[in-house]
């Protein structure tokens, strides 16, 4: 009777731990966006509160605050699994965000006013009233497209959603660079029409939320959350890919402004440093990929329940051991074990108790044999061991040791089940040539003889 079967994993499956963490971050981001949006609206509708924010506060427009709150409602519906009626309201929210972005960009491009600037409270000193900046409007346009196509998978609209998400994230990086390097023309249309820092902060969280949702069913972004080797490498490299360019350029800008070195020296040092860093990253990636590949290989050869080798791993390593023994003209011994009464334990006490019985016997085998010996679970209740030792006296010593450990386990285990097994063995004699399958067949036959003797004795 087979014990618990190991679960098979595929590289395109999401890592549930990563997804859970990202969902928590998305929930936190929605809370921050909501606080920003409602705070800004409160300041616009209650002018008496204008003196509360600090002096560095740059108030976003009311239109932008409304757009952010619409996004918050849409994504809240996504994460909270709202009923169908609420989902339709979420779709309406996405349409309004898309319209806000598209109409605002149209106003800038055609030099016209469609009346959006005067619906909500507006800044009397601003040229365009409560109109969002073109950068913010473009962000809303990409958000609207991504939200309306968010649930699409493996089709044209899925690619559209991924592209809109990518453009939105790219916009955030450009805006961040504009603030970091003082390129204010990137973040503003004029002195009075600028993407405020807290708009950029809200966009950052919206970008993270979009990436989370598209990673779960998109075409491009699932690589960030899957369990495969490539996904693990991407998650490790991505922070450096985002941060390092800003560090390099900031350092180069600082050195140029400080005039400690001439520009040619700075460029030479920066180029060499970038090359060294690239070499280090590539070397580390190779080392890491090799390590992950080794872990993956070990997992594919290991039985998940008992942590000993599975059938594939046992035969793979066993055939190598046979070749090495034949080459060195050494002998080896193969033991074959079958647990007695596992089916009865499963039927009476359930498969969990049967799995405990299997794990207990695997532990006894690991304790009895050396670390260099090959211990494998080759069937549901069958185990085999390959060892480079041979001889009658040694086999009797192993048998006695196994009996002692099984008796000790039965004494401490109570009456839930009694650990019992049948055993057989076969040797590859020095100088002989024989396949692993043939040796196991002989050991298996001896094991059945041992089992038959027990039945006659009972």
The pLDDT assigned to 266 comes to 76
In 302-328, which ranges are continuous DSSP H helix?
Answer: 311-328
The pLDDT assigned to 125 comes to 57
The pLDDT assigned to 6 comes to 39
The pLDDT assigned to 2 comes to 37
The pLDDT assigned to 12 comes to 61
Residue 117 · residue 129 · CB < 8 Å = yes
The pLDDT assigned to 83 comes to 74
For the chain, the residue count is 458
The pLDDT assigned to 10 comes to 45
The pLDDT assigned to 1 comes to 34
Residue 408: C-alpha distances to residues 144, 203, 232, 357, 411 (Å)? 68, 64, 44, 14, 5
10-residue mean pLDDT series, the chain (458 residues): 39 75 90 92 81 69 92 85 75 93 92 80 64 91 93 83 92 88 78 80 93 80 78 80 80 78 77 79 75 73 89 91 85 92 88 91 93 91 91 88 92 81 87 83 92 79
Q: What is the 3-state secondary structure (H, E, C) of 157-225?
A: HHHHHHHHHHHHHHHHHHHHHHHHCCCHHHCEEECCEECCHHHHHHHHHHHHHHHHHHHHHCCCHHHHC
Residue 252 · residue 245 · CB < 8 Å = no
The pLDDT assigned to 70 comes to 94
Strands 374-377, 421-428: pairing is: unpaired
Domain boundaries, the chain: 16-225, 228-301, 311-457
Query: What is the CATH number assigned to the segment(s) 311-457?
Result: 3.30.70.270
Residue 138's φ and ψ, nearest 5 degrees, are -65, -40
The pLDDT assigned to 167 comes to 94
């Amino acid at each position: 009777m087979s014990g618990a079967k190991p679960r098979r994993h595929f590289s395109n499956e999401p890592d549930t731990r990563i997804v859970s963490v990202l969902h928590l971050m998305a929930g936190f981001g929605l809370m921050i966006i909501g606080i920003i949006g409602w705070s800004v609206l409160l300041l616009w509708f209650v002018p008496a509160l204008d003196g509360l924010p600090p002096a560095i506060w740059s108030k976003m427009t009311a239109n932008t605050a409304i757009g952010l709150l619409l996004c918050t409602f849409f994504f809240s519906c996504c994460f909270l699994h709202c009923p169908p009626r609420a989902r339709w309201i979420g779709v309406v929210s996405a349409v309004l965000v898309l319209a806000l972005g598209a109409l605002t960009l149209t106003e800038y491009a055609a030099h016209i006013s469609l009346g959006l600037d005067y619906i909500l409270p507006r800044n009397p000193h601003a040229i365009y009233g409560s109109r969002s900046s073109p950068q913010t409007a473009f962000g809303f346009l990409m958000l609207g497209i991504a939200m309306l196509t968010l649930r699409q998978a493996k089709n044209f609209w899925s690619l559209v959603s991924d592209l809109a998400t990518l453009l939105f994230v790219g916009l955030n990086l450009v805006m961040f660079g504009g603030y970091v390097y003082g390129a204010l023309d990137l973040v503003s249309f004029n002195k009075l029409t600028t993407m405020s820092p807290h708009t950029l902060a809200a966009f950052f969280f919206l970008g993270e939320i979009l990436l989370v949702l598209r990673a779960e069913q998109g075409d491009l972004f699932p690589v960030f959350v899957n369990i495969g080797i490539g996904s693990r490498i991407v998650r490790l490299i991505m922070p450096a890919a985002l941060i390092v360019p800003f560090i390099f350029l900031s350092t180069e800008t600082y050195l140029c402004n400080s005039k400690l070195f001439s520009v040619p020296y700075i460029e030479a040092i920066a180029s060499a440093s970038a090359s060294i860093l690239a070499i280090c990253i590539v070397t580390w990636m190779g080392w890491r990929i090799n390590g992950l590949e080794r872990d993956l290989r070990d997992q594919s050869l290991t039985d998940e329940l008992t942590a000993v080798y599975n059938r594939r791993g046992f035969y793979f390593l066993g055939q190598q051991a046979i070749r090495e023994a034949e080459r060195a003209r050494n002998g080896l011994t193969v033991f074959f074990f079958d647990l007695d009464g596992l089916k009865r334990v499963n039927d009476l006490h359930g498969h969990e108790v049967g799995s405990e019985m299997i794990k207990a016997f695997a532990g006894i085998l690991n304790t009895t044999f050396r670390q260099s010996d090959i211990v494998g679970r080759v069937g549901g209740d069958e185990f085999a061991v390959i060892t480079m030792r041979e001889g009658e006296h040694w086999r009797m010593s192993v048998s006695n040791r196994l009996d002692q450990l099984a008796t000790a386990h039965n004494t401490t285990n109570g009456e839930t089940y009694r650990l019992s097994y049948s055993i057989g063995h076969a040797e590859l004699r020095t100088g002989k040539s024989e396949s692993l399958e043939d040796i196991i067949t002989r050991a298996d036959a001896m094991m059945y003889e041992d089992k038959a003797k027990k039945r006659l004795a009972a």
